[in-house]
Structure 1
Amino acid sequence: MHYKVVVVDDSPFMRKIISDLIERDSSFQVVGTAVNGYEALMKVAELKPDIVTMDVEMPEMNGLEALKAIMMDNPIPVIMLSGINEEGMKETILALESGAFDFIRKPSASVSNDINQVGELLLEKMKVAMQAKKRRAAWQTKELVRSEGMKKQVSSIGIEKPTANGILSKPSHDPNKSLSEVINTENAYTKRTAISQKAEKKPNNNDSSRPLVSNRKPSVEKEIKASKLAKSTKESTPLVFSNSSSKISSELEGKSSSFQHLVAVGCSTGGPRALKELLERIPGELPAPVVIVQHMPPKFTKSLAQRLNSFSSLEVVEGEHGMVLHRGYAYIAPGGFHMKIVRASAGHYEISLTEEGPRNGHRPSVDTMFDSLLPFNTLTRHVVLLTGMGSDGAKAMKTLYDSGVTDTYAESEETCVVYGMPRSAVELKCVRHVLPLLDIPSMLVRMIK
C-alpha cells in the first residue's frame, strides 16, 4: 500500500532532498510538492494526501498558518521541518501546539551523513503517524459500535421507579424524553445501583496492590480556581513566549525548597500540546516541584519551556545542572542531556545533567529520570506518562511501582496522539490511574492535597 505525501518547502533543493528521502521507502509516494502555504492548501485539497511534510518558515503563507488551516478543514498528520534558528524553533513549538504530529530539524545540505540521519528519522516518524492514524480510526470505529449498542439498550428506558423494599427498579420508557436524557437517566440508575450493592461491604483502604483504571472524571473547577487567580496576577508580557530566565534568581528566595511531594512527567510525540493542557490546569501554589522529560533536540526545549511558562501558573524553566528544586516550579529536561534528581548534602533536591549515551534511543530519557527518583522514600512521588511513541519510561515506572510508588498515571488512548509509552506502562500493570488528559491534573492536585 502506498501512502500519498505532499512535500512543502520554499527551497527547490530541499524539496528534492526531502522527496528523495521519503521515496527510499516504497510504502510512501510523493504525489505533489508546494512552495508555500497557499499552494500547500490547494495541493492538499486536490490530491488528498495521507500525510504532509511542512517547512516552518516560508514566504507569503508560512508553515504554521498553513498547518492551522489544514487542521481546521481537513485534519491529517503533518510533520514540520524546522531550522535551528530561534524564530524557527519558536514557530515549531507553536506548530506542535496547533496540531502538528511531530517535527524534525532540517538536514544540513552540505553533510551527506546528516541528510541520511534526518531521512531515517523522518521515515520513522511518518510510519508512526500512519500507524497512529490507523489505530485512531480503529478506536473510533470500536467506540461507534459501542455507542450504537448503548442506544439500542436504552431505547426502552425511561424514569426509574422505587420498589416496595426501597431498591431501585429499572426505569421504563418515556416517549417524551430525548435520547440524551434517556442515557443520562440510565447512567444515574446504573451508578446508584452499584452504590447500593456495595453499601454493606467494608472498604479496604489499604489495598493498593492491584492497578486501577480510573474512568471517573473529577471536576477541575476547584483545583484551577487558584490557578486562574495566580495567572491573572502573574507578570504579563505582550510576547507569545515568556522571556523569564531559567537561572534561580532572588524571586526564588520566597519559594521553599522543602516539600513532601514530587511530580515526574514523561512524554514524546504529542507531548508539547499535552504539557500545555496539563500545566495550565495546575495551580501555581502546588506544594511540589514538577520535573518533565519531553523527547526533543537541544535548544528546542528552551523554547518549549518559555512557551509553557506563558500559559502556566507554575514557573516553567529549562533545567540546569545544580538547579535546586522548588515547589511551584516545573523543570523541563534540556535536549541532549539526561536529567536526574539528586539529594544534595545540604538536604535539598537538585538537578543533575549528564551526557551518558542515549537510553531507549533518547537523551533525555524518561527511564533515566524516573530511575533517579527510586531512593527518595521520604517523598510522595507522583509519576505520569503522557502521549508518546515507544516505551521509554514504562520499565522505570514499573520499578517505582514495585517499590511502593502507587500514585502512577497514564494518559488514556482516547486523548493520546500516540498511545505507545502509556500503553507500555499499562501492559506492565504498574498504572494506578488511566485517565483522559484533561482529567489528570485535577486528580494529581487532589492526591497531593
Structure 2
Amino acid sequence: MSKIRVLVTDDSAFMRKVISDILSGDPEIEVIDRAKNGLECVEKCKQLSPDVLTLDIEMPVMNGLEALEKLMVDCPVPVVMLSSLTREGAEATIQALELGAFDFITKPSGPISLDIHKVADRLIERVKAAAAVKGRMRRTLRPSRPATPEPTRQSPIPAPAPLRPVQPVINALPRIQNNGKARLVVLGTSTGGPKALQNVLTAIPAGFPAPIAIVQHMPAGFTKSLAQRLDSLCQIRVTEVTDGEWLEPGTAYIAPGGYHFEVQQVSGKLQALLHQQEPRGGHRPSVDILFESVSRLTNVDKWAIIMTGMGNDGTKGLKQMKEFGPVTSIIEDESSCVVFGMPRAAIQAGLADHVAPLEKIPELLCKLLH
C-alpha cells in the first residue's frame, strides 16, 4: 500500500522538523517536503500534489488562512490546521474550518511548542483520516456576499460574510399547538461539524419552535468562538451554553469544550447541566451523554440529528432515546459527510428514521416539527 504523502508547513524551522519527525515515525506516512510560509506552501502543493497538508495559521508572506482560501480554489487538498489556544487562534481556526480545512490540532504551548509530542497521536490520526477524503475534495467558488439581508439582531463579534448565500428554508413559522409538551432538538457532530453546523443553522428561520442542544467535538476555548461566529450569521440565536441556563425555543446551545452537556427538567422547564466527569469514548463533551440525558426527559417531543464525524459517538445515546420513548432521528447521508463514521454507525444500528444530505436537513427538520 502506498504511503500518505504529506507536506508540512510552518514558519518555525523547529516546528517543521518536529512535526515531520512525528509524521515520518508512522510507517503509513511519508513527509515529501516542507514549506516555511503560505506562498511557498501553495507553490509546492501545485508541484507535488500531496495527499494531506499540515498548515500553521500565523506565518509571514502569506498566512495560513490566505493560503487555505487559495488552495481550496486552485488545488484542493485535505488540510489539517495547527492552531494556538488563544482567542485569536480560535477565531482563525473557525474561519479555516469554514474555508474547507479538514480538521485542526492545537499546539499545546503556543506557536513554538516544545511539547508538541503530547498531541502526536492525535496529529497522526487526523492526517490519516484526512487522507481518506482526498478523492472527494472539490474546487470551490470564491466566497461571495449573501443575496439575503443580514440579520437585524446585533452580533457580539463582527464577522466576514458566509461562504455561500443562505436562505432560510421557511420564512415564517406558524404557532403550533402541541398539547403543552416541551420540544427539544439534539444534535451531535465532530470532524467537519463546524461547516456543517453553519449550513444547517443558517437555514433555520427566526421563530423556530424548539431549542437546539448541540455537541460539537472541540477543545475548550474554541466552542465559544464557534458559537459567536454562527450567531453572527444565523437568524436564530446561537450561544455557548452555560450551566443552569434555561433552554428557550429559537436558540441553539453549543456545549463548551471540556464539559459534558446534559438537559434536565425543572418544574417542566428544560435546563442545561454542565459537568466535567470522565470523557466518554475519548470525548468531553460527548454526544452519547447529551442524548442519554434527553432520553430521561418526560412529556417532551424530541428530534435527534447526527452529522459528520469520526467514530460512533451518539449511537449508544440515540439507541437509549428510542428505548425510553418516541424520538425522530435524522442522520446525515454519506454523500455530504466529511467523515461518515458517526452517521454510518447510527444507520448500521438501525436507528435512522430519515437519512438526508446536509442541504436537506434544515427543511426536513422544520417539516417534522410542523
TM-score (norm 2): 0.88
SS in 1 for 2:94: helix
**Which residue identity is paired with 1:8?**
T
Deviation at 1:33, TM superposition (A): 0.9
Which residue number in structure 2 is paired with residue 92 of structure 1? 93
Which residue number in structure 1 is paired with residue 50 of structure 2? 49
Closer/same/farther in 2, CA of residues 237 and 364 from structure 1, 3 Å limit: closer
SS in 2 for 1:84: coil
Residue 359, structure 1, aligned to residue 280, structure 2:
yes
Cα contact 1:259–1:327 (8 A) shared by 2: no
Q: CA RMSD in A?
A: 2.1
Deviation at 1:237, TM superposition (A): 7.5
**Which residue identity is paired with 2:246?**
V
Which residue number in structure 1 is paired with residue 213 of structure 2? 291
For structure 1, list consecutive stretches of 5 or more residues without a partner in the other structure: 141-227, 243-257
Which residue number in structure 2 is paired with residue 82 of structure 1? 83
Which residue number in structure 1 is paired with residue 247 of structure 2? 325
Which residue number in structure 1 is paired with residue 16 of structure 2? 15
Correspondence for 2:192 among 265, 270, 274: 270
**Which residue identity is paired with 2:268?**
G
Which residue number in structure 1 is paired with residue 232 of structure 2? 310
Which residue number in structure 2 is paired with residue 6 of structure 1? 7
- Equivalences for 1:2-401 in 2 at 5 Å? 2-108=3-109, 114-133=115-134, 136=136, 232-235=151-154, 239-240=158-159, 260-344=182-266, 346-401=267-322
CA distance in 2, matches of 1:394, 1:405: 16
SS in 1 for 2:90: helix
**Which residue identity is paired with 2:236?**
L
The number of equivalent residue pairs is 341
SS in 2 for 1:71: helix
CA distance in 1, matches of 2:358, 2:322: 21
CA-to-partner distance for each residue in 1:370-402, whole Å, 9 max, x for gaps?
000012231110000000000000111122123
Deviation at 1:88, TM superposition (A): 1.2
CA-to-partner distance for each residue in 1:383-425, whole Å, 9 max, x for gaps?
0000000000011112212333341011000000000000000
SS in 2 for 1:373: helix
Which residue number in structure 2 is paired with residue 218 of structure 1? none
Which has more helix, going by share of residues?
Answer: 1
Cα contact 1:50–1:77 (8 A) shared by 2: yes
Q: Which runs of 4+ in 1 moved over 4 A?
A: 109-112
Deviation at 1:347, TM superposition (A): 3.1
Which residue number in structure 2 is paired with residue 183 of structure 1? none
Deviation at 1:336, TM superposition (A): 0.4
Deviation at 1:269, TM superposition (A): 0.2
TM-score (norm 1): 0.73
CA distance in 2, matches of 1:327, 1:9: 44
CA distance in 2, matches of 1:414, 1:304: 24
SS in 1 for 2:204: coil
For structure 2, list consecutive stretches of 5 or more residues without a partner in the other structure: 139-147, 162-179
CA distance in 2, matches of 1:32, 1:62: 18
